[in-house]
Amino acid sequence: MRPDANDPRAPYLQVADDLRAAITDGTFKPGQRLPAGRELARRYGVAAMTVNHAVQVLRDERLVVSYQGRGVFVADRGAGQRQADQAPGDPAVAELRDELTKLADRVARLESLVSGSKPAEASK
């Protein structure tokens, strides 16, 4: 899967979404090592830094853990973690996540303007 140039989301978010889906559907199982960053960059047709940002998103979501010199692994989400994930969340946290997503989209549009390419979606 290559990031869709017509998608208003930044490429790193598209890569993160694809990797998240692979983790959720069991393509990557708990404890399994993800392919190396260079391999993922080649698969997605993006820069290594884009993959690094995508992995950071998954790390922030506690879907993956990384170990210096060993790689990135799918987190072992035990029963306690699943219960915490299903517990009603703080509405302020949900609102912050929405705002962060919007901000990331705005930054992606600004970066495309600065780089001289036409943004996928016009600014509002």
pLDDT tens figures, 26-72: 999 999 999 999 999 999 999 999 999 999 999 999 999 999 899 99
For residues 85-114, give the mean pLDDT.
74
CATH 3.40.50.740, domain 11-76+87-114, yes or no: no
CA distance 75 to 41: 21
Q: Are 35 and 46 in contact (CB under 8 A)?
A: no
- The per-residue pLDDT of the chain, averaged, comes to 83
The structural domains of the chain, with segments of one domain joined by +, span: 11-76+87-114
Vertex 58: Cα angle to 22 and 119 (nearest 5): 90
- pLDDT in the model for residue 78: 56
CB hemisphere CA count around 118 (13 angstroms): 4
Decide if pLDDT at 84 tops 60.
no
What ranges make up the beta strands (E) of the chain?
64-67, 71-74
- The 10 Å Cβ neighbour count of residue 35 is 15
Q: Which residue has better confidence, 91 or 49?
A: 49
